[in-house]
Structure 1
Amino acid sequence: METGRPSLTTGRIAGIDFGSKRVGIALSDETRQFALPKGVLKNDVDLFSQFQTFCKENSVVLVVMGESRNYKGKENKIMEAAREFAEKIKQELQQQLIY
């Protein structure tokens, strides 16, 4: 049954390292054998639109985003903003997201 979403067996995977000032972006190769850093985006009002453009230009079908924790394994102060960004990706980009 077709769901309207792209197949997860093809397409690239984007990785996000979310920070309060900058957000690191990585991208898998087409065969998903490895990923390389692709750049750093400024964490400002343009972040979401820049990431959206990046996803479209690179045929991203899955986003992987790490949790932000302190040295004791507890959530740190940036975790709430990271969660909000992850939700926006899922809702507005309709991307599969592993968090």
Structure 2
Amino acid sequence: MTQREYILGIDYGAQRVGVAVAHEVARLPRPLQTLKNDGSLMQQLEVLVNQESVARIVVGVPRNMDGSSSEQSSACEAFANELGGRVDVPVQTFDETLSSVEAEAALKRIGKPYSKPDIDAMAASLILERYITEGANA
């Protein structure tokens, strides 16, 4: 069996799901891809968990600026619970407030053309970066 060494970060959305990965030791997140949120999403994520040797998954959950939950927060938490029942690695949630705004700003700074799926994958990478620096050992 392959040793699982990576953390998978997920930016969940109703239409698209951004995915990023970071090595547990090197801790350098990188955008991986953006998946369509359709009937094959869970199966695709199960494949990624095995393909990328994932040890744990972090699902971003947005909060309102006052820290309260929103409809999207509930959708992300429900998704994380469902995913946790489908994979054999721990799934946890982490605050992702404004990650998509920050992702778009980062892509603008690069100066190359980008699309909404690029923003989603970059947001997943930023969620992982925050998790690693702020919450992985909390």
Q: TM-score, normalised by structure 1?
A: 0.78
The 5 Å alignment of 1:18-97 reads: 18-29=12-23, 31-97=25-91
What secondary structure, in the 3-state scheme, does the structure 2 residue paired with 1:56 have? helix
What secondary structure, in the 3-state scheme, does the structure 2 residue paired with 1:17 have? strand
Which residue in 2 is equivalent to 1:3? none
Q: Is the 8 A contact 1:12 1:32 kept in 2?
A: no
For CA contacts below 8 A with separation 6 or more, give which structure has more relative contact order: 2
CA offset digits 1:11-43 (Å, max 9, x no partner): 100001111111110001363421100010111
Q: Which one has the bigger helix percentage?
A: 2
2:65 and 2:36 mapped to 1: Cα distance?
24
Moved more, 50-59 or 66-75: 66-75
> How much is the aligned-residue C-alpha RMSD, in angstroms?
2.0
What secondary structure, in the 3-state scheme, does the structure 2 residue paired with 1:75 have? coil
Runs (5+) with no aligned partner, structure 2: 94-138
Which residue in 1 is equivalent to 2:10? 16
CA offset digits 1:29-82 (Å, max 9, x no partner): 363421100010111111111111111101101001121223443322222221
Q: TM-score, normalised by structure 2?
A: 0.58
1:32 and 1:19 mapped to 2: Cα distance?
28
Aligned identity (percent) is 29
1:76 and 1:20 mapped to 2: Cα distance?
14
Moved more, 16-25 or 79-88: 79-88
